[in-house]
Amino acid sequence: MKSNLTSCLLIVLLLAACRQANQPHTITRGFYYWKSNVDLNASEKNALDTLQVKKLYIKFFDVVWDPTGLRPMPVAKVQLSDSTSIWLSRHPVEIIPTVFITNECMQLIDSSNVAILADRLHDLMAAIANQLPDNSSIHEIQLDCDWTATSKNNYFSLLTRLQALPFFQQKEVSATIRLYQCKYKQKTGVPPVGRGLLMCYNMGNLKSQHTRNSILEAAELEKYIGNLQEYPLPLDVALPLFDWKVLYQDHAYKGLIQGLPDSLLQQKGISRKTGSNTFTILLDTILNGYPLKKGDDIRQEDASFAEIMQATRLLRSKLVTPKITVALFHLDSLTLHKYSTYELEEIFDSLH
């Protein structure tokens, strides 16, 4: 009898979870801005206006490990142009200060110094925020770190300490969640914040030549989100718009190539197409400042509209958070022109 009652209870809970996951979501539209110099051009401002974007995640600075001083160090501090500051003051776009912290920092810092780091990050973030057009409009702060099981204690301690400091109080604090951190939450832990933002990109093995597209593949995404509805934080979603090229020399990963137009790579005599998105260089050359050698292999990676929509169909049935911010990475005119306004509208609305 007890076994039958337990089985019935499990069925009821599963049905309730299914109903919750299939409820309509209220969507807030957002963009990331990941450049240190915030100087919005006409097409970027137009995109924010036309798409009725309500949130702009601006990276205030990075925190990297200083091997000389043996301590974390802020770099790439944001600079807001006067014209952008004026524009933002006249448009209803909420700014979410975001800080990227390398996992190396959280691994190498002594636990006794975490509180000191928190105080320094707090002071720098507050000082930058005071330069924004309307500091009072800041309702959320986001921390971005690719933490692991070995660095979680330091990172989670940092998050706890930050939330006790004045600038963070009475604001929602969110943390980015990588797909593997979501799937293996028992191992990596759940950050002590009010909200998570699931980063639905950079999911494949970038360094392997056998990978087709490390930025986004719906089939790869599906491997990570089977139990997404069980994640104990309310989740927002980030989706990719960016692209890059991956360089291999002698079949070994050599780095990323960004801003290289396809037209240059595909010039006659420069490369030979070896697959749907792979090329082999035919001669020693320099393209857009990148030195390339004969025999180098290049893989073109991007996030196509069709692939993004396939990914959101998978996510839609798993998300149980009723109010979701959908943030696109990132706001850049060169990236935006690859998508029509209709396609961007569809991406935002696909998680309703």
CA-to-CA separations, 144 to 100, 177, 234, 249, in angstroms, rounded = 5, 8, 16, 31
Q: What is the pLDDT of residue 12?
A: 41
- Vertex 216, ends 197 and 187: CA angle to 5°? 50
Distance of CA 321 to the CA centre of its chain: 18
Residues 138, 154 contacting (CB under 8 angstroms): no
DSSP 202: -
Confidence of residue 259 (pLDDT cuts 50, 70, 90): confident
164-200 pLDDT, tens per residue? 999 999 999 999 999 999 999 999 999 999 999 999 9
2-48 pLDDT, tens per residue? 445 444 444 444 444 444 556 788 999 999 999 999 999 999 999 99
Across 219-240, average pLDDT: 96
The span from the CA of 178 to the CA of 227, in Å, is: 14
Q: What is the pLDDT of residue 116?
A: 97
Q: What is the pLDDT of residue 92?
A: 86
The span from the CA of 200 to the CA of 182, in Å, is: 11
Residues in the chain: 352
The span from the CA of 342 to the CA of 346, in Å, is: 6
Mean pLDDT score across all residues of the chain: 92
Q: What is the pLDDT of residue 8?
A: 47
Q: What is the pLDDT of residue 2?
A: 43
Structural domains in the chain plus CATH codes: 25-243+302-349 (3.20.20.80), 248-297 (no CATH)
CA-to-CA separations, 232 to 196, 219, 238, in angstroms, rounded = 9, 24, 18
* 70, pLDDT greater than 80: yes
The span from the CA of 257 to the CA of 215, in Å, is: 14
Give the CB-side neighbour count of residue 201, counting CA atoms within 13 A.
Answer: 19
Across 117-133, average pLDDT: 95
The span from the CA of 162 to the CA of 166, in Å, is: 9
73-90 pLDDT, tens per residue? 999 999 999 999 999 989
* 281, pLDDT greater than 50: yes
DSSP line for 111-161: GGGHHHHHHHHHHHHHHHHTTSTTGGG--EEEEEE---TTTHHHHHHHHHH
The span from the CA of 259 to the CA of 34, in Å, is: 15
* 337, pLDDT greater than 70: yes
